[in-house]
Amino acid sequence: MKNALLVDDSPTILLSISGVLTKAGYTVKTAAAGAEALSMLAAGLKPSVIITDLNMPNMDGIELIRQARAAPGCRFLPMLMLTTESRTDRRAEAKAAGATGWLVKPVQPAELVAVLDRVIPA
């Protein structure tokens, strides 16, 4: 069973994207902040993929990915940015921090699912 950890400070995005992924057959866990997501990983959550927003209070998505990469079992875990941000310098930062890919909102549901199919090992 594929499962995703979705991180965003927007409750609407959490509902929207978790709904799309659930209908695509994913089990979805959500976190409203980077620290909450890291706590879930520390507690033993083993997602197939992490999808995170960039601009969030206290900890942005790039820092979340940087810290999550160091968590046990997360070294090769696919981690995607899902953000309204389109600046290339921020993409470069995310890539350097260990992000697997960058998706600009709004993303088409079918495209999101197709990306997940590509990055999650069979």
Partner 1 sequence: MPASSTKAIPRAAALREILPLTDVLRAQLGAVTDRAEEVAQQFAKHMFDVDAQAGLLAARVQSLGGAANDQAAAVQTLKARSDELVGALEASLADRDQIIRGLVSQVRDQNRFIAEIRTIARNTKIVALNATIEAARAGTDGAGFGVVATEVRRLANGADKTAGALAEELAQLGGRLAEALDDSRGRGAHATNEAIGQFGEAQAGLVQQVSDAGGRVERVVAEVSDVSDVLGAITTEGLGLLQFQDISRQATEQVQQALARIAEHAERIAVRLEGTEEGDDVPTLDIGGLEASYVMDEQRVIHAAAVGGQPMSTASAPTIELF
Interaction site with partner 1 (CB under 8 A): 8, 10-13, 15-17, 19-20, 23-24, 55, 83-88, 91, 95, 99-109, 111-112, 115, 118-119
Contact yes or no for 50/68 (Cβ under 8 A): yes
Q: Nearest approach, Cβ of 66 to partner 1 (angstroms)? A: 14
Q: Nearest approach, Cβ of 28 to partner 1 (angstroms)? A: 12
In the bound state with partner 1, the residue whose beta carbon lies nearer, of 8 and 77, is 8
Q: Nearest approach, Cβ of 44 to partner 1 (angstroms)? A: 27
Q: What share of the chain is helix, strand, coil (3-state, %, to 5)?
A: 45, 20, 40
DSSP 2-17: -EEEEE-S-HHHHHHH
In the bound state with partner 1, the residue whose beta carbon lies nearer, of 52 and 102, is 102
Q: Residue 51, Cβ neighbours under 10 Å: how many?
A: 29
